Amino acid sequence: MLMKTKYLDNRLVMIVLFAAFVLSSCSKSPATTPVTPVPPVTPPATVTYNYASLSDSLQASTYNTYISVDRNYYIQNSTGTTTFNYWPQAHVLNILEDGYLRTQNALYTLRMKALLTGIKIENGGAYPNEFYDDMGWLANASMRGYAITSDTGYLNVAKILYTEIQGASNTIAGGGIAWQRTQLYYKNTPSTGNAIILAAKMYELQGNAADLTFAKNLYSWEKSTLVSPAGVVYDGINQNQDLQVSKAVYTYNQGLFIGAAVELYNATQDPAYIQDAILTANNEIADPDLESNGILKSEGQGDGGLFKSIAVRYLTDLVELTALDAANRTKYAAFLQKNAQTLYYKGIGRPSLLASPDWTLQPSGSIDLTTQLSGVTMIEAAARLKAGSFIQ
């Protein structure tokens, strides 16, 4: 089994993948940067949670700490490792979009467009890369950028990447989207979930029935192949070309399936998709493989540092879905609120304003961009939920 990590300089991807194959690595753990646990800060007796103000501060700190010297991209970590990693850039674009939607400050749209241009420069003058889930993250962030700004530059990027992603659909293992170009036989949730969301959004934008059919077919395959009857979303299938399902459970896969269900509900108004989202969300907030005492678990740094960001983003979308019943809305909002409150005082360093991979402990040492993005996403989501009166 190849190690599923992309926390690498893109120029080295093929070398590392070949070496991993030769060594027959059986690890699929996210790359990590060690962090020494530091006790949490004790909240004041009278607790005030000003999520919008903290979001402003976190956005500023993230930009100042991680922006590259040429302002094209965000660097790997808080201690100056300047490696360009493709997939976190899409999630930087998402938090910039969060900031703009919350404030309407044009500074965010300027940074969004600079990043979109910078990704192309740093990626060798083009947007496609080796990994289909990478392209899915950026395509979906770009679709959101287009919805926010009406700038067709974002839509053009999404279309370029959508064409690439459609090419990763084949009948090996029964369907789904391949993880990368050199492993068209290996299908997984990150690639397929992103493709479902993207295709459904393309249908909603352009009304092409083929896009909706593509999304629905992928979703049916995903649900029947990689989702348990209890709603647990597994990672992938056929990585060793043996048709075996990898039952590794990560927070981001749960989030992606919820996001796919929500987007297909938006496209079809079929309530069955909401029921699927509820089943997975109920598991996400209670499964000891995903949370501990009501807090999303630490999945380390490296790629794993970004996983909670995706879980939070799509669970927040579900909370905001008008068709969701009140009882489940209240339950999921309370879960997100507890995570936000815990992170607010326990997991964010001050004055550094860096986020820990463990939201119950203070950060220490170098903090990866991926880890920081999960923290920013959580506080921005809380600001959004508070503004909508879903939480206090």
- With vertex at residue 232, the alpha carbon angle to CA 189 and CA 371, rounded to the nearest 5 degrees, is 60
Q: What is the pLDDT of residue 39?
A: 67
Judge whether 218 and 176 are in contact, CB under 8 Å. yes
Kind of pairing between the strands at 183-188 and 236-237: antiparallel
Q: Which two tokens stand for residue 129?
A: 């890369």
Confidence of residue 275 (pLDDT cuts 50, 70, 90): very high
Q: What is the pLDDT of residue 47?
A: 79
Q: Measured between alpha carbons, how far is 14 from 390 in angstroms, rounded to an integer?
A: 46
**Segment 269-276 long-range contacts (CB within 8 Å, at least 24 positions apart):** 271/323, 273/219, 274/321, 274/323, 274/324, 276/223, 276/227, 276/231
Residues 6+ apart with CB under 8 A from 380: 51, 55, 58, 95, 98, 99, 102
pTM exceeds 0.85: yes
3-state class of 154 per DSSP?
helix
Q: Give the tens place of pLDDT for each residue, 108-129.
A: 999 999 999 999 999 999 999 9
pLDDT at residue 30 greater than cutoff 50? no
Peptide bond into 128 cis (omega under 30): no
3-state class of 43 per DSSP?
coil
- The mean pLDDT of the chain is 92
Classify residue 80 by its DSSP letter.
Answer: -
Kind of pairing between the strands at 291-292 and 245-246: unpaired
Q: Give the tens place of pLDDT for each residue, 232-268.
A: 999 999 999 999 999 999 999 999 999 999 999 999 9
Torsion of the alpha carbons at 385, 306, 55 and 103, rounded to the nearest 10: -70
Residue carrying structure tokens 């690595």: 25
| Stretch (H or E) spanning 226 | helix 209-226
Q: Measured between alpha carbons, how far is 68 from 75 in angstroms, rounded to an integer?
A: 6
Dihedral sign computed on CA atoms, order 354, 359, 360, 363: negative
pLDDT at residue 5 greater than cutoff 80? no
Q: Measured between alpha carbons, how far is 283 from 11 in angstroms, rounded to an integer?
A: 38
| Closest among 138, 184, 190 to 160, alpha carbons compared | 138
Above pLDDT 90, what percent of the chain? 88
Residue 77 backbone dihedrals phi, psi, to 5 degrees:
-150, 175
Residues 6+ apart with CB under 8 A from 219: 196, 260, 261, 264, 273
Q: Which two tokens stand for residue 237?
A: 């299938």
Dihedral sign computed on CA atoms, order 275, 276, 278, 282: positive
The CATH architecture of the domain made up of 31-66+291-392 is: Alpha/alpha barrel (1.50)
Q: Which two tokens stand for residue 299?
A: 């999945």
Neighbours of 240 (CB within 10 A): 13
Helix axes 132-149, 152-166, angle to 10 degrees: 150
* Average pLDDT rounded to a whole number, residues 367-383: 99
- Partner residues linked to 237 by β-bridges: 187, 245
Q: Measured between alpha carbons, how far is 392 from 382 in angstroms, rounded to an integer?
A: 9
Judge whether 332 and 281 are in contact, CB under 8 Å. yes
Domain ranges across the chain: 31-66+291-392
pLDDT at residue 8 greater than cutoff 80? no
